Amino acid sequence: MRTAALLLAALLAPPLIAQVDVGAKVGGNVAPDGKTEIHCDLPGSQHLHNKGGSDRAGLCVFTSCDHAARWQNIPALIGLRDYMTKYPGGGWPEKLAKYITKICKERGVPEPKYVQIENSKDLEILKLACKTGRMVCITYERSPTGRYNGSKIAHMVNLPHADNAWFAVLDNNYEGPTRYEWAPPDEWLRVTNPRGFWAVVFLDGPPPPPPSN
């Protein structure tokens, strides 16, 4: 009888969505406060969807780097996602460095300057990169808005905005100019990178700002 009562209570309880907070929202290129414009406003026509490598494993690392290359006008790496479809998927720092060298050598162009930041929780470097117009490529463990059914995922996305109030995620599995995930910085770190992040920042400058009167 007690077992039946416990089962009934469990069935009637509201469903739990892991690690989702009311501060996180999906939206366009303006933060949920209605006034903060995204730092790196990559046109929707340049958003790429993740693909699989020759073994069907995902190419999220290389898709994210392709996004950054498109935003920062790094021709050497534009098309990196499609280039990598002939190689096994998955990515880590040494592999990324290897294939950046390889594609640049094959294209006969210099390698772009970049930094890889590993096992860090330093949000200030991410804020600085976005403030100066550099689109960060960064690991992502769990969606702040409940994507992937709230489960953990081994993934890399882009961080096109980071300041004291808001962080934004461009997820190459949910790409699109109205599908950014916005979350406060502490919430973003706690959910997406609780153990520290791996980030890639290309040092080429951003595109010029749009003209204004």
**7: in domain:** no
Whether 41 maps to a domain, the answer reads no
Whether residue 8 is contained in a domain is answered as no
Provide mean pLDDT across the span 146-162.
Answer: 97
Annotate 144-164 with b (16+ C-beta within 10 A) or e (fewer).
bbbbeebeebebbbbbbbbbe
The 8-class DSSP code of residue 195 comes to T
pLDDT of 28 above 90: yes
- Cβ distance 54 to 85 under 8 Å? yes
For residue 121, give Cα distances in angstroms to 2, 10, 47, 118, 125.
Answer: 46, 37, 27, 9, 9
Dist. CA 173–CA 176, nearest whole Å: 10
| SS3 (DSSP) at 36 | coil
Q: Give the per-residue pLDDT at 17.
A: 37
pLDDT exceeds cutoff 90 at 148: yes
Report the pLDDT value the prediction gives residue 15, as an integer from 0 to 100: 40
Has residue 97 been placed in a domain? yes
User: In the 8-state DSSP scheme, what is residue 138?
Assistant: E
User: Rounded CA gap, 212 and 157, in Å?
Assistant: 31
Domain limits for position 52: 25-32+48-202
Q: State the CATH number of the domain containing residue 82.
A: 3.90.70
DSSP state of 18: T
Whether residue 10 has pLDDT greater than 70 = no
- Residue 212 belongs to some domain of the structure: no
Q: Does the pLDDT of residue 7 top 70, yes or no?
A: no
In-domain check, residue 13: no
Dist. CA 38–CA 162, nearest whole Å? 8
Residue 125 located in a structural domain: yes
Smallest CA-to-CA distance from 159 within 32, 42, 2 is with 42
18 pLDDT above the threshold of 60: no
Q: Total structural domains in the chain? A: 1
The single-letter code of the amino acid at 152 is K
Strand 114-120 and strand 197-202: the pairing is antiparallel
Q: What is the pLDDT of residues 109-141, one digit of tens each?
A: 999 999 999 999 999 999 999 999 999 999 999
Encoded amino acid at 60, one letter: C
Q: For residue 6, what pLDDT is reported?
A: 40
For residue 83, tell me if it sits in a domain. Answer: yes
